[in-house]
Amino acid sequence: MRHLLSIDDLGRDGIEEVCALATSFLEVTSREIPKVPALRGKTVATVFYEDSTRTRLSFETAAKRLSADTMSFSVSASSVKKGESLRDTVQTIEAMGVDAMVVRHGAAGAPHRVAEWVDAAVVNAGDGRHEHPTQALLDVFTLLKHRGSGFDGARVAIVGDVRRSRVARSTAKAMATLGADVTLVGPPTMLPESLECWPGDATSDLDDVLTKADVVYLLRIQHERVDGTRFPSLREYTTRYGLTVERAARLGPEVLIMHPGPMNRGVEIAPEVAEGPASVITEQVANGVAIRMAVLYSILGSGGPVA
């Protein structure tokens, strides 16, 4: 693997390989000294054009546990407006000597462009509304651990602002690639403008979907960006699309509840549900480090033994 720009870069075999590697790394992270020398001498730069403590921390932790050096580059929105081109910025960073760049950007395709301009490997850590492939990998990894290899036919409901969600696009594709049956759920203002390139169906009837779901994946409602035209109010959203205590009570005992974080407790998910036994949300975060170790190792590693 040269870069990881889209979940499409991997295919079923690729996803399974990364997940297998992540299983080994999960063991590493549980050791007393959770560190292996696999990427000693390599430098990983996180280049974030959007604020994200969680994803950046996850990547940096992953790099450090592989003994790579890390560099961190934040670009404020204002310096972009001053007119420095993305190309100049990433070539400057590369000139400092980096082997991989982990790029997050508010615009779709930014990591794809970066990959054309630098020799370093590029990992997409989220680009606009487009993709967030490592989130998708940690999501399927989490699900695989619960369902073993029996992924086929798992009925996954992805609920929220699917249209504007990079998590939804990557995770839906990854889950469908492994054989899950994906349904996208939200008001029509939040469903994709075209379903041609999405796996599965779309519906606005959450309660109907919940009667037959094995996994309920809730997307974060970005209410800081709410402009009043996607849905009328948070209260109405919660009433119609939130996983409330009442809705969760109707789910079967085997149903798993997932969320990419950070959660808006009381909006898309009730606090009791997030803390409840069906929730694997904290596990997703822990698996995120192992998955990102697996991705960085796949890209930068020598191919030798993991530990």
Partner 1 sequence: MLRGGRVIDASGERMADVRVADGRVVEVGAALTGDRVLDAEGCIVAPGLVDLHVHLREPGGEDAETIETGARAAALGGFTAVVAMPNTEPPQDDPAVVAAVLAAGAASVCDVHAAGAITRGRAGEELAPMGELHALGVRIFTDDGACVASAGVMRSALEYAGSLPGAVLGQHAEDPTLATGHMHEGEWSSRLGIPGRPAIAEETIIARDCALVELTGTPVHFLHVSTAGSVEIVRAARARGLPVTAEVAPHHFTLTDACCASFDPRYKVHPPLRTEADIAAIKAGLADGTIDAIASDHAPHPTESKERPFEDAPPGMLGLETALALTLTELVEPGVLSLTDALARLSWGPAAIAGLAEHGRTIEAGASANLCVIDPRLEWQVEAERLASRARNTPYEGRRLTGKARHTICRGEAVVIDGEAQR
Write down the residue that tokens 């549900």 correspond to.
273
Q: How far is the CB of 127 from partner 1 (least distance, A)?
A: 7
d(CA 245, CA 35): 40
Strand ordering across the sheet containing 155-159: 201-203, 181-185, 155-159, 215-218, 256-258
Q: How far is the CB of 116 from partner 1 (least distance, A)?
A: 9
Q: How many C-beta neighbours within 10 Å does residue 22 have?
A: 27
Smallest separation (angstroms) from partner 1 to the CB of 135: 14
Told to check if 119 binds partner 1 by CB under 8 A, we report: no
Residue 105 has what DSSP assignment? E
Per the structure block, which two tokens stand in for 183? Answer: 């349904």
Stretch 195-254 residues interacting with partner 1 (CB under 8 A): 195-198
CB closer to partner 1 out of 163 and 220: 163
Q: Name the residue with tokens 């996850």.
A: 58
Contacts of residue 10, Cβ cutoff 8 Å, sequence gap at least 6: 1, 4, 18, 133, 137, 177
> Should residue 35 be labelled a site residue for partner 1 when binding is judged by CB under 8 A?
no
Which of 3, 129, 230, 259: binder of partner 1 (CB under 8 A)? 129
Provide, rounded to whole angstroms, the least separation between the CB of residue 209 and partner 1.
Answer: 21
Residues with Cβ within 8 Å of residue 294, at least 6 apart in sequence:
18, 19, 21, 22, 25, 137
Which one among 21, 44, 93, 110 touches partner 1, defined by CB under 8 A? Answer: 110
Question: CA-CA distances (angstroms) from residue 152 to 70, 145, 185?
Answer: 38, 14, 20
Does the protein bind partner 1 through residue 56 (CB under 8 A)? Answer: no
Among 76, 79, 85, 92, binds partner 1 (CB under 8 A): 85
Chain positions 157 to 196 lying near partner 1, rule: CB under 8 A, are 163, 166, 169, 192-196
Q: Tokens 């395709």 identify what position? A: 109
Cβ at position 163, least distance to partner 1 in Å: 8
User: Which tokens in the block code for residue 229?
Assistant: 């035209």
**Stretch touching partner 1 by CB under 8 A, among 104-112, 178-186, 274-282, 299-307:** 104-112
Summarize as ranges the residues that interact with partner 1 (CB under 8 A): 80, 83, 85-88, 105-110, 112-113, 117, 127-131, 163, 166, 169, 192-198
